[in-house]
């Protein structure tokens, strides 16, 4: 039974590490969460980067980052809702949340999957995070810069003249 428990534990660890490696290529971050206490169990560097947090978040409660009680309740319901389709072919459920970042609220989509308990008895889940791209304004163009498609087609120029002023209008497709 000792060997069987070591194999189960190794399989669960390999599965989690493989899943985290894949998620890091698809999402903006991931973390392992204890479903019972909502405590961040493992490395939280991805979440720290998204929130621009200087504080280490490992071994802290994810609840401390939510803005209000209603958001915490929705998150608990999200964690405790089991997928109707257990075959893994359905699109994972997501939840849009706002967490408190250093510079203010940070909006992101969360996705989760349970990690097999094996023989450890822990109820962990892997939480994937995707930052909301619409929450940040696009950067301003540098002074004097030319639009990328300015050379895609030749501009048509129109000259208009009224009284003593001259105006040139460039139109691009």
> Does the structure show a pLDDT above 90 at 100?
yes
Q: What is the number of other CB atoms lying within 10 angstroms of the CB of residue 122?
A: 15
pLDDT value of residue 125: 85
Q: Higher-confidence residue: 170 or 147?
A: 170
Three-state secondary structure call for residue 91: coil
| CA angle 13–18–24, rounded 5-degree value | 125
What are residue 128's phi and psi, to 5 degrees? Answer: -100, 140
Its pTM surpasses 0.85: no
The mean per-residue pLDDT over the stretch 38-66 comes to 93
> Does the structure show a pLDDT above 50 at 59?
yes
pLDDT per residue as tens digits for the range 136-169: 666 677 777 776 654 554 555 555 555 566 777 7
What distance in Å separates the CA atoms of residue 112 and residue 35, rounded to the nearest whole number? Answer: 10
Beta bridge partners of 94: 111
Cα torsion through 164, 165, 168, 169, rounded to 10: -120
């Amino acid at each position: 039974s000792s060997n069987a428990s070591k194999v189960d534990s190794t399989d669960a660890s390999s599965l989690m590490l493989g899943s985290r490696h894949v998620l890091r290529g698809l999402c903006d971050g991931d973390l392992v969460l204890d479903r019972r206490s909502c405590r961040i169990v493992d490395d939280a560097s991805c979440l720290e980067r998204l929130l621009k947090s200087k504080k280490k978040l490992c071994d802290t409660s994810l609840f401390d980052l939510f803005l209000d009680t209603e958001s915490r309740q929705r998150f608990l319901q999200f964690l405790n809702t089991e997928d109707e389709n257990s075959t893994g072919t359905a699109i994972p459920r997501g939840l849009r949340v706002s967490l408190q970042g250093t510079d203010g609220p940070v909006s992101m989509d969360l996705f989760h999957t349970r990690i097999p308990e094996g023989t450890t008895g822990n109820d962990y889940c892997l939480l994937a995070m995707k930052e909301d791209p619409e929450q940040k304004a696009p950067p301003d163009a540098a002074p004097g810069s030319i639009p990328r498609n300015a050379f895609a087609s030749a501009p048509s120029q129109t000259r208009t003249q009224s009284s003593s002023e001259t105006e040139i209008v460039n139109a691009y497709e």
